[in-house]
C-alpha cells in the first residue's frame, strides 16, 4: 500500500523527496516552529528572478502536436500532483515535491529573449506552444505579466502560437488574443480534468475551480478565439469515470476540439503520486496503482511509467484501449472532432536588424 503523510494546506505534494541528482539525504524534523497541532508552518512561495540564456525550446517527440515551446516560468504554484514537469526541478538542485510549487523561477528577460530569437536570420516560422511545461498563467503572472509581454512580441511578429492553461487569468488577454484569432494565429486549450470540486482541490490545489474553467472556455469562444479542452491526465478510478461528463460540459461551454493523455509518472513523480494517493484516497489506492501498471504493460506494479514514444501518452492494453474508445465516442457525440486548428505561418515578419547599414 502507498505510504501516508500529512498534507500541506493549499499544496499538492505531501512532502519533499530528494531529487535524483542529490548526493545527500535529509529528513524533515520539528525545529520548534511547528504549530501546536503538530502541523508544519504555512509554506510560503519564494520567487527567484533569472536571466534566460535561450527561450525557444525544440522537442523531438512524435507524441506532441507542436515542435517549439516557450516557458516563462520554472516551477508552478498550481501544485498539480500529476505534473510531468516536476522532475525538472532537480536540474536546479530542488525537490520535485513541495519545492516545485513553492520555489519558483521567473525569466524576467523572456520577452527580450523571444524577440531576439524570432528576429534571428536562422529562425523559420512554425507554431509555438506557450506554457508546455508549466502554466504560463499561474498566479505569479499577475505580478510579472511575462506571458502578456510574450504575446505582444508574437503579435508584432505575426508569430502563430497555441496556449494550454488551466487558469482563468487568460481572460485578461482576450484583447490581444481575439485579433490574432481572426488572422488564424492563435488557438487555446483549457485543461479540464474533472468536474468534482473535491478531487480538483486535492490534485490541482491552486488552479481555477472546474466551473470557472468552463466559464473561461465560454468567454474565449464568445470572443471568437478557437478553444479546445485538454483532458490530461486521465487516471483510472480518479477522474477516468468522468470522461464523458467533462467532454459534454466542455462542449456545452463552447469547446470545439479535445485531446487527452493518460497519467504518466516519470522519475520522482512516481513516489510523489503514490504517497499523495495513500494520503487522500487510501480506499482506492491499490486499485488505481494496479490499473496504472496494467496500462504500462506491467501487472506486477513494478513499473508505473512507460517513456516510449507512441505509447507513453495513451498507455497500452485493454484498459487503455477502452479509455481511448470512450474518449473518441464522446468527442464524436459532442462534435468536438469537427474543428481542426490550422495556424497560419505565411504572415510572419521579423524585424530587420537596425544595426546593419542599408545597401544604398
- Give the DSSP letter string of 138-196: STTHHHH-HHHHHHHHHHHHT--EEEEES-GGGGGGHHHHHHHHHTT-EEEEEE---S-
Topology of the domain comprising 49-333: pyruvate-formate lyase- activating enzyme (3.80.30)
Sign of CA dihedral 42, 99, 308, 227: positive
pLDDT at 355: 45
Strand partners, 234: 262
Q: How confident is the model at residue 301 (pLDDT cuts 50, 70, 90)?
A: low
Residue ranges per domain, the chain?
49-333
pLDDT band, residue 38 (cuts 50/70/90): low
Confidence (pLDDT) at 359: 46
Mean pLDDT of 288-306: 82
Instruction: Average the pLDDT over each of 85-99, 132-146, 309-323 and give the range with the smallest value.
Output: 309-323
Residue-level pLDDT at 135: 97
Residue ranges of alpha helices (H) inside 281-338 are: 285-295, 317-333
Among 106, 80, 73, 86, which residue's Cα sits nearest to residue 11? 80
Q: How does residue 302 score in pLDDT terms, banded at 50, 70 and 90?
A: low
Give the pTM.
Answer: 0.90
Give the per-residue pLDDT at 311. 79
Where does the pLDDT of residue 60 fall: very low under 50, low under 70, confident under 90, or very high at 90 and above? confident
The Cβ of residue 28 has, within 10 Å, a number of other Cβ atoms equal to 11
Which of 70, 240, 88 is closest to 160 using CA atoms?
Answer: 70
78 pLDDT above the threshold of 70: yes
* Structural contact between residues 306 and 296, judged by C-beta atoms closer than 8 angstroms: yes
Lowest mean pLDDT among 58-67, 217-226, 271-280: 58-67
Average pLDDT over residues 14-28: 69
For residue 356, pLDDT over 60 is answered with no
Amino acid at each position: 500500500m502507498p505510504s501516508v503523510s500529512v498534507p500541506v494546506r493549499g499544496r499538492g505534494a505531501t512532502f519533499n523527496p530528494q531529487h535524483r541528482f542529490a548526493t545527500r539525504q535529509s529528513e524533515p524534523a520539528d525545529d520548534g516552529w511547528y504549530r501546536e497541532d503538530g502541523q508544519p508552518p504555512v509554506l510560503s512561495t519564494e520567487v527567484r528572478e533569472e536571466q534566460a540564456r535561450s527561450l525557444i525550446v525544440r522537442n523531438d517527440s512524435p507524441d506532441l502536436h507542436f515542435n517549439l515551446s516557450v516557458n516563462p516560468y520554472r516551477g508552478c504554484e498550481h501544485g498539480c500532483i500529476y505534473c510531468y514537469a516536476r522532475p525538472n526541478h532537480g536540474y536546479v538542485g530542488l525537490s520535485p515535491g513541495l519545492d516545485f510549487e513553492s520555489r519558483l523561477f521567473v525569466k524576467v528577460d523572456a520577452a527580450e529573449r523571444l524577440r531576439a530569437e524570432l528576429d534571428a536570420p536562422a529562425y523559420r516560422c512554425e507554431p509555438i506552444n506557450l506554457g508546455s511545461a508549466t502554466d504560463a498563467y499561474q498566479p505569479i503572472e499577475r505580478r510579472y505579466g511575462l506571458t502578456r509581454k510574450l504575446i505582444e512580441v508574437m503579435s508584432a511578429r505575426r508569430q502563430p502560437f497555441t496556449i494550454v492553461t488551466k487558469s482563468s487569468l487568460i481572460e485578461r488577454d482576450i484583447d490581444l488574443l481575439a485579433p490574432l484569432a481572426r488572422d488564424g494565429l492563435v488557438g487555446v486549450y483549457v485543461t479540464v480534468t474533472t468536474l468534482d470540486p473535491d478531487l480538483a482541490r486535492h490534485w490541482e490545489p491552486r488552479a481555477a475551480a472546474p466551473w470557472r474553467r468552463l466559464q473561461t472556455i465560454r468567454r474565449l469562444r464568445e470572443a471568437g478565439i478557437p478553444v479546445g479542452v485538454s483532458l490530461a491526465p486521465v487516471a483510472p478510478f480518479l477522474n477516468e469515470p468522468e470522461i464523458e461528463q467533462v467532454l459534454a460540459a466542455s462542449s456545452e461551454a463552447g469547446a470545439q476540439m479535445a485531446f487527452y493523455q493518460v497519467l504518466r509518472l516519470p522519475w520522482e513523480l512516481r513516489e510523489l503520486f503514490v504517497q499523495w494517493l495513500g494520503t487522500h484516497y487510501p480506499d482506492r489506492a491499490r486499485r488505481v496503482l494496479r490499473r496504472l501498471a496494467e496500462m504500462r504493460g506491467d501487472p506486477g506494479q513494478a513499473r508505473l511509467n512507460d517513456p516510449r514514444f507512441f505509447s507513453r501518452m495513451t498507455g497500452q492494453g485493454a484498459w487503455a484501449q477502452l479509455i481511448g474508445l470512450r474518449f473518441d465516442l464522446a468527442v464524436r457525440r459532442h462534435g468536438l472532432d469537427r474543428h481542426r486548428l490550422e495556424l497560419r505561418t505565411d504572415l510572419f515578419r521579423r524585424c530587420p536588424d537596425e544595426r546593419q547599414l542599408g545597401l544604398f
